[in-house]
C-alpha cells in the first residue's frame, strides 16, 4: 500500500511542473481572453457580458476577408514547406550516413541560432532595391535597373517557409528514420517504380510526421506577425496585424481579445478538419511524429 501511494506521489510530483506550465501559461490565459472578449465597457471600470466585440468582426468585411486570406496563405505556406522539407528529410533519414546525417541536421538548425527578427532583417537586406538579389538580376541582364523585391506576397511566402522549415524537417526525419529499408526494397522488387513506392509505402508510413509537422507549421504561420509585416510592408493584410492594432494602437483590448479568440477557434477547427481528412488522431500523431 505504501509503495502504491509512493508511486502516485512520485508521479504527481513529476507531472506537477508540466501541469502548472499548461495551466498557467496556456489554459488560464485563454480563459481570460475569452472572458475579456465577451465583456463590453459601458462606463469607466464597468463592464457587461455581450457579443458586441464579435459583431465588430462580422460587420466589417475587411476583418473576415483578411482572416480568410491569412488562412489561405498559411495553408499554401504549409504545403510549400512540406514539398521542400520532405525530400530533404528523406535524404537525411534514409540516405545520409554517420556524421553526414548530424551535419545536415545541424545545417537545418543553423539559421535558428539567430532570432526571427534577425533572420527577417537578413531577407530585407538581400531583397531590397540595392540588395544582392537586385544586383545579381542586373548582372545577369534580366532587369535594366534596380528592382524592389520586398513588400509583396511572394516575399512574405518565402519568409514564412524559411522560418518554419525546421519544424517540418524534424518530425519527418524522426518518422522516416524508423522506416524499414526492406519495405522500400520490397516495393521495387514487386515491380513498383519510385512514384508508386513513394505513394504506397513512404508517404503512408510518414503520415504522422507529415500531419504533426503540418500542424506546427500552419499554427506558426497563421499566428505570425513579424514576417508578414516586415516583408509585406504596411499594406500587407495579415489578421494578426489587426489584433496588434486593437491591443497596442487603439487600446481596445476587448475587441482585440475577440479577434484573438476568433483566430484560436479558426486554427483549432482547421486542425481538427485536417486530422479528420488524413484519418489521424492527435495522440497518435504526437506519439509517432
Using CA atoms, how far residue 152 sits from 148, 157, 191, in Å, is 10, 9, 46
> Would you state the pLDDT for residue 142?
81
> Would you state the pLDDT for residue 146?
84
Domain boundaries, the chain: 54-282
Torsion region of 279: left, alpha or beta (phi above 0 gives left; psi -120 to 50 gives alpha): left
> Would you state the pLDDT for residue 20?
86
Give percent above pLDDT 70 in the chain: 94
Q: Is the pLDDT of residue 151 over 70?
A: yes
Q: What is d(CA 121, CA 227) in angstroms, rounded to the nearest whole number?
A: 9
For the chain, the straight-line distance linking the first and the last C-alpha, in angstroms and rounded, comes to: 38
Q: What is d(CA 237, CA 225) in angstroms, rounded to the nearest whole number?
A: 11
The 3-state secondary structure of the chain reads CHHHHHHHHHHHHHHHHHHHHHHHHHHHHHHHHHHHHCEEEEECCEEEECCHHHHHHHHCHHHHHHHHHHHHHHHHHHHHHHHHHHHHHHHHHHHCCCHHHHHHHHHHHHHHHCCHHHHHHHHHHHHCCCCHHHHHHHHCCCCCCCCCCCCCHHHHHHHHHHHHHHHHHHHHHHHHCCCCHHHHHHHHHCCCCHHHHHHHHHHHHHHHHHHHHHHHHHHHHHCCCHHHHHHHCCCCCCHHHHHHHHHHHCCCHHHHHHHHHHHHHHHHHHHHHHHHHHCCCHHHHHHHC
Residue with cell 479577434: 259
Q: Is the pLDDT of residue 208 over 80?
A: yes
What is the per-residue pLDDT across 25-53, written as a single tens digit (0 to 9) for each? 888 888 888 998 998 877 777 778 888 88
Q: State the pTM of this model.
A: 0.87
The pLDDT of 76-100, averaged and rounded, is 91
CATH 3.20.20.80 fits 54-282, yes or no: no
Are the beta carbons of 98 and 266 closer than 8 angstroms?
A: no
Are the beta carbons of 66 and 238 closer than 8 angstroms?
A: yes
> Would you state the pLDDT for residue 243?
92
**160: pLDDT confidence band, cut at 50, 70 and 90?**
very high
Task: Kindly state the cell numbers that stand for 257.
Answer: 481579445
Are the beta carbons of 10 and 2 closer than 8 angstroms?
A: no
Using CA atoms, how far residue 219 sits from 34, 147, 248, in Å, is 19, 33, 22
**261: pLDDT confidence band, cut at 50, 70 and 90?**
very high
What is the per-residue pLDDT across 135-148, written as a single tens digit (0 to 9) for each? 888 888 888 888 88
Amino acid at each position: 500500500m505504501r509503495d502504491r501511494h509512493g508511486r502516485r506521489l512520485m508521479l504527481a510530483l513529476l507531472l506537477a511542473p508540466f501541469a502548472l506550465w499548461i495551466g498557467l501559461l496556456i489554459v488560464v490565459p485563454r480563459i481570460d481572453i475569452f472572458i475579456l472578449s465577451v465583456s463590453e465597457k459601458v462606463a469607466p471600470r464597468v463592464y457587461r457580458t455581450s457579443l458586441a466585440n464579435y459583431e465588430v468582426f462580422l460587420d466589417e468585411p475587411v476583418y473576415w476577408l483578411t482572416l480568410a486570406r491569412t488562412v489561405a496563405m498559411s495553408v499554401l505556406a504549409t504545403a510549400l514547406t512540406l514539398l521542400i522539407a520532405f525530400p530533404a528529410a528523406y535524404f537525411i533519414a534514409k540516405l545520409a550516413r554517420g556524421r553526414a546525417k548530424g551535419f545536415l541536421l545541424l545545417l537545418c538548425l543553423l539559421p535558428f541560432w539567430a532570432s526571427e527578427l534577425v533572420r527577417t532583417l537578413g531577407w530585407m537586406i538581400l531583397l531590397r532595391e540595392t540588395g544582392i538579389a537586385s544586383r545579381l538580376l542586373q548582372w545577369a541582364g534580366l532587369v535594366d535597373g534596380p528592382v524592389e523585391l520586398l513588400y509583396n506576397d511572394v516575399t512574405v511566402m518565402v519568409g514564412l517557409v524559411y522560418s518554419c522549415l525546421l519544424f517540418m524537417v524534424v518530425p519527418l526525419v524522426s518518422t522516416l528514420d524508423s522506416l524499414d529499408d526492406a519495405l522500400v526494397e520490397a516495393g521495387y522488387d514487386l515491380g513498383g517504380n519510385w512514384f508508386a513506392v513513394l505513394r504506397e509505402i513512404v508517404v503512408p508510413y510518414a503520415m504522422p510526421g507529415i500531419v504533426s509537422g503540418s500542424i506546427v507549421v500552419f499554427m506558426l504561420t497563421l499566428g505570425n506577425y513579424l514576417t508578414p509585416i516586415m516583408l509585406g510592408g504596411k499594406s500587407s493584410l495579415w489578421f494578426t496585424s489587426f489584433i496588434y492594432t486593437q491591443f497596442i494602437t487603439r487600446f481596445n483590448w476587448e475587441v482585440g481579445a475577440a479577434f484573438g479568440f476568433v483566430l484560436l477557434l479558426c486554427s483549432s477547427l482547421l486542425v481538427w478538419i485536417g486530422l479528420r481528412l488524413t484519418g489521424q488522431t492527435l495522440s497518435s500523431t504526437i506519439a509517432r511524429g
